[in-house]
Structure 1
Amino acid sequence: MSRLNPSNERLKRDYLRYLKEAKGKSEATLDSVRKALARYEAYTGAKDFKTFRREQAVAFKVRLAETDGVRTGETLSASTQAGTLSALRDFFTWLAWQPGFKSKIHLPDIDYLSPSRKDVARAKAPKLRDFPSLEQVHAAIEAMSCETVVDRRNRALIAFTILTGIRDRAMVSLALGHIDTTRSPPVVRQDPNTVETKFAKAIITYFFPIGDDLAEIVRAWIDELRGEHLFGPADPLFPRTCVGIASDGAFAPAGIERRFWSNASPVREIFRKAFTAAGLPYFPPHSFRHTLGHLAQTTCRSPEELKAWSQNLGHENITTTLTSYGRIDPHRQGEVIGQMKTGKAVDPDMLAEIGAVIARNRGVPIG
């Protein structure tokens, strides 16, 4: 383990404060910067940042390409390597303009922290994501027990995720008052003042039309919270587990408590256990957004429906839904091509929408 360098620690503190207060960066971004700086210092043995030279940059890139990830044990991905180098370039560019460093850090040397064009292409290459089919989600839910209040909460949690496509961090901060089941379809109002939404966006989400049985599971859960547990609008929609002592003296679930989860880790564990118990591979909560993104391609029949579906996922642009969550795997791509026929009439509205999307991507006026 590398020793701490007091001078470096002060500089890192000042830079992170700059990113947070002056640039408004999120805590997740700050964490990625910390990791990048830690990797660099581990390589240099915590030498003063003012000793940075192009030779160090080149040698560090070689070491980075050989580094194994802590979680996977595999070589760092091209995207992780590119992100690390980008964070270091930004840091040393900032450092080069600080008092006492203008003559120490040479701006041309910082360019040597750039990845090769091939590595950039690998980092940007779209990745095929594993996601469950709607049938697999149903199978996992059906295999879940509903005997205890914790069982019923877990069952409703998974049903709610596929009905809304909500991100797990937002879900654990949802209160009962954020959902209105009297509407048809039910609506969830993700208020960024109280809900941990991505980029602090206000998102209005209606239940996707993928099964009344799933919606009924969620409604039954909400009725139980209000009727049996006397939860109010400010209480959590998915309360944390109350842990007690079992008869054998071990810790065990003992119901729910009127408190929010502090993070989404328990949610991911619920998903893991549910899919494993059903004899299926583990699909994390975020993979459900990919399921919904692909369902949009076969469910939506007009540009208006596609736009509403995209908006329901919290996307301002249809392109985000189609590119981030709607990439077709090669096998399905072949099936679609094989089913296509030439000479069919083209929907003019759909053609206009496609043209508008292309124009927005190119940044040209829509005529």
Structure 2
Amino acid sequence: MDKINNIDNVNIRRRYERILGDLEGYAKSTVRTKVDDVGKFDEFLEGKDFRKLNEDMAIKYKNHLKGLMSTEKPIQLKTVHGKLLSVIEFYNWLRKQPGYKRRVKESAIQCFRLSRKETNSIATQINLIETPNLDQILELVDSIKGDTEVGMRDKGIFSLTLLTGIRVKSLTMLRLKDFDRKRLILTLNPLDDVDTKFGETMNPVIVPLDDNLLNQFIYWFDYLQKVKGFTPENPLFPMTEVKQMEGSLSYTATTVTNKFWKSPTAVNKIFKDRIKAAGLSHFTPHSLRHALVQIFISLNPTEVEKLALSQNLGHKSPVTTYGQYAKYDVNKRSEILSKENLQNIINRSSWNINDALEQKIDLMNMDLNQKYEEILKHLLKNINTQQ
């Protein structure tokens, strides 16, 4: 499809982009996604003005996007839904602007929506993420040699990512000053150039699931301060320094600079390369957020502890944490729901019931003894009075 620009459409899209960023306060990445989605619809219009929208055009575009699900590089229905919502949001805003309100009909905008059956299938879809267990993560960290700065840094990256569930784009922007060593707390402040989801300031506490992982990160932090002489403003996980070996055409990459990475891409590559070298199945940095939740649940935390972890991950509600992150693949579910494991659950429950009964009986006995003593005292008092 050749790109045909309508100058009015281009101008209103630019204005919408400014509104999303400056007034609505969306993150740059979110603004870019929404505006790009509207731009794709503008291309589909082939020069027609946004005001010309009718029900037939909306349905044709919806079917066009759904058709992309059957191409060589298919997109998912969830992606189609997101792109259509971007266009719906744009038109809902557009209808309030001078010169558009009477020209764009609400019924036409509604035709962008997917059917109830399609939206329900998206809402109930389970996106299973390959999630490593604690033993695999320990095996991975142990496989990285710690005799170079790059090795020590990478051990620290894997350790901190699991113990806090921090997102990669936040991790790459951390400075030394963002870590409180005494209290084991990070400060993620968007106003200090640390990118966070929804631009919120966060203070994740390190969850000490494993002493070895915690020590790997602390050792790296101390190394940067005491050996490298880094200042509080220097990056916590700096770029790799690539140097040409003396008297050779070869290059070495064993030390680090004092510069920040330009994007999370480098960290994603570290994950990919280190996991492959360790001979483990691939998993993403984000999957360690899921791993943290699943490992934490296995420790049988209280409701208060569950809430604390949820807030530590920056979630508004525990429903998000344990509804989205505590999803198991069929193999894990089979293990949990196996006859052997269920018997263990029954045994634990029986023990808890018996233990509770014993405690109840003890309390009843104590109560009876106390009442018996009170009755005796009362009888003795009456006898003494009569005498």
Q: Which has the larger radius of gyration?
A: 2
Identity %: 27
- Segment drifting more, 299-308 vs 83-92: 299-308
Match of 1:199 in 2: 198
Q: Do the aligned partners of residues 293 and 254 (structure 1) sit closer, same or farther apart at CA in structure 2, a change above 3 Å counting?
A: closer
8 Å CA contact retained: 2:165, 2:313: yes
8 Å CA contact retained: 2:238, 2:256: yes
Structure 2 unmatched ranges of 5 or more: 357-387
Q: CA deviation at 1:270?
A: 0.7
Instruction: Find the aligned partners of 1:207 and 1:39 in 2 and give their Cα distance.
Output: 42
Q: Do the aligned partners of residues 98 and 151 (structure 1) sit closer, same or farther apart at CA in structure 2, a change above 3 Å counting?
A: same
Instruction: Find the aligned partners of 2:290 and 2:229 in 1 and give their Cα distance.
Output: 35
8 Å CA contact retained: 1:85, 1:114: yes
Q: CA deviation at 1:316?
A: 4.2
SS at match of 1:260: coil
1:241-256 equivalence runs, <5 A:
241-245=240-244, 249=249, 253=253, 255-256=255-256
| 1:293 partner letter | V
1:269-284 equivalence runs, <5 A:
269-284=269-284
Q: CA deviation at 1:254?
A: 6.5
SS at match of 2:346: coil
Q: CA deviation at 1:160?
A: 1.5
SS at match of 2:33: helix
| 1:65 partner letter | K
Match of 1:364 in 2: none
SS at match of 1:196: coil
- 2:149 is aligned with 1:149: yes
Structure 1 unmatched ranges of 5 or more: 349-367
Q: Do the aligned partners of residues 276 and 299 (structure 1) sit closer, same or farther apart at CA in structure 2, a change above 3 Å counting?
A: same
- 2:41 is aligned with 1:40: yes
- 2:346 is aligned with 1:341: yes
Q: CA deviation at 1:62?
A: 1.2
Match of 1:14 in 2: 15
Instruction: Find the aligned partners of 1:178 and 1:66 in 2 and give their Cα distance.
Output: 47
SS at match of 1:299: coil
Match of 1:84 in 2: 83
Q: CA deviation at 1:121?
A: 1.5
Corresponding residue pairs, total = 344
Instruction: Find the aligned partners of 2:233 and 2:134 in 1 and give their Cα distance.
Output: 32
Match of 1:365 in 2: none
Question: Could you say what the CA RMSD is over the residues aligned between the two structures, in angstroms?
Answer: 2.6
Q: CA deviation at 1:262?
A: 2.7
SS at match of 1:323: helix
Q: CA deviation at 1:252?
A: 5.5
Q: CA deviation at 1:274?
A: 0.7
Q: Do the aligned partners of residues 58 and 274 (structure 1) sit closer, same or farther apart at CA in structure 2, a change above 3 Å counting?
A: same
The answer to which structure has the higher helix fraction is 2
Match of 1:312 in 2: 312
Match of 1:212 in 2: 211
8 Å CA contact retained: 1:164, 1:207: yes
Q: CA deviation at 1:277?
A: 0.8
